[in-house]
Amino acid sequence: MATSLAAALPAAAADAAAPSVTCTSAKAGLADKLERGISSALTNRRGTVAVGLHDRATKTTCALRPFSAYDSASIVKVTVLAALLWDAKRRDHYLSDREVALSRAMITKSDNAATRVLWKQLGVEKVKGFLAAARMTRTEPGANGYWGLTRITVEDEQKLLKLVTAGNEVLSDNSRAYILKLMGQVVPSQRWGTPYGAPSGVSVAVKNGWLRRATQGWRVHSVGAFKGRGHDYTITVLTHGSDTLNYGIATIQGVAEAIHKDLAAN
């Protein structure tokens, strides 16, 4: 109903009805500052953007389109690794040397061939098993081996990052440390996105994804985990509808820069 109504409205009215970023925080004034900063970064940007932020230190959360679904592209590789480790834990196994090599290539270099091997090895049912354990209920694995067409949301990506960055019953502490280690060793050419503007002295773990399709242009995504200088936070930015990869990257980095700046000042 809402979609039909928006389609019938004049362009200006439809834009006015677009969702806005909402933030809450235990730190006085921080929520308003983040709302203004993120909104300003997205002013006049083309495409559709979803944003998630959570900072444990200040109990700060921001969300924009948290339940909107996007094609995952390579962002799903963090889920694949988490599922692999979750399954190994269930079976009381360690990763084999082969699995370690494939995992490293998948995360640090975003190697698609390695991802295909691990996705096939796991099978969709095990991936779904992990998603259920992680309560990532809105994530839908890609069919017929198309892992990059897994449908994801900001809410679920933030749930995954929460599991990776704090103790829980789904992932062991060693598994969490391993995921963060690999995300911290992503090759320099792929360290764009959510790390942009991160203050010195803050640890950075990142995974990005990018995919062009015939409809909705480029999907460009970035997830990151950051810790230091009194903060412990995760950021997810998902986008589609960019004309070029670089335009999508610039959109994400504008949001990330605003977030890092506002958190660093509080």
Helices (H), 49-196: 76-90, 97-108, 112-133, 154-165, 173-183
pLDDT attached to residue 18: 76
25 pLDDT above the threshold of 70: yes
Strands across the sheet with 60-64, in order? 22-24, 60-64, 48-55, 231-242, 218-228, 203-212
Cβ–Cβ contacts within 10 Å for residue 84, how many? 24
User: Which residues are CB-contacts of 100 (< 8 A; sequence separation ≥ 6)?
Assistant: none
pLDDT tens-digit map of 211-247: 999 999 999 999 999 999 999 999 999 999 999 999 9
Q: Would you state the pLDDT for residue 17?
A: 55
Rounded average pLDDT over 132-147: 97
User: How far is Cα 179 from Cα 132, in angstroms, rounded to an integer?
Assistant: 19
Mean pLDDT computed over 87-100: 96
pLDDT for residue 236: 99
C-alpha gyration radius of the chain: 18
Higher-confidence position of 8 and 163: 163
For the stretch 158-215, pLDDT in tens is 999 999 999 999 999 999 999 999 999 999 999 999 999 999 999 999 999 999 999 9
Domain ranges within the chain, ordered by starting residue: 24-264
CATH topology of domain 24-264: Beta-lactamase (3.40.710)
Judge whether residue 4 has pLDDT over 50: no
With a cut of 80, say whether residue 8 has pLDDT above it. Answer: no
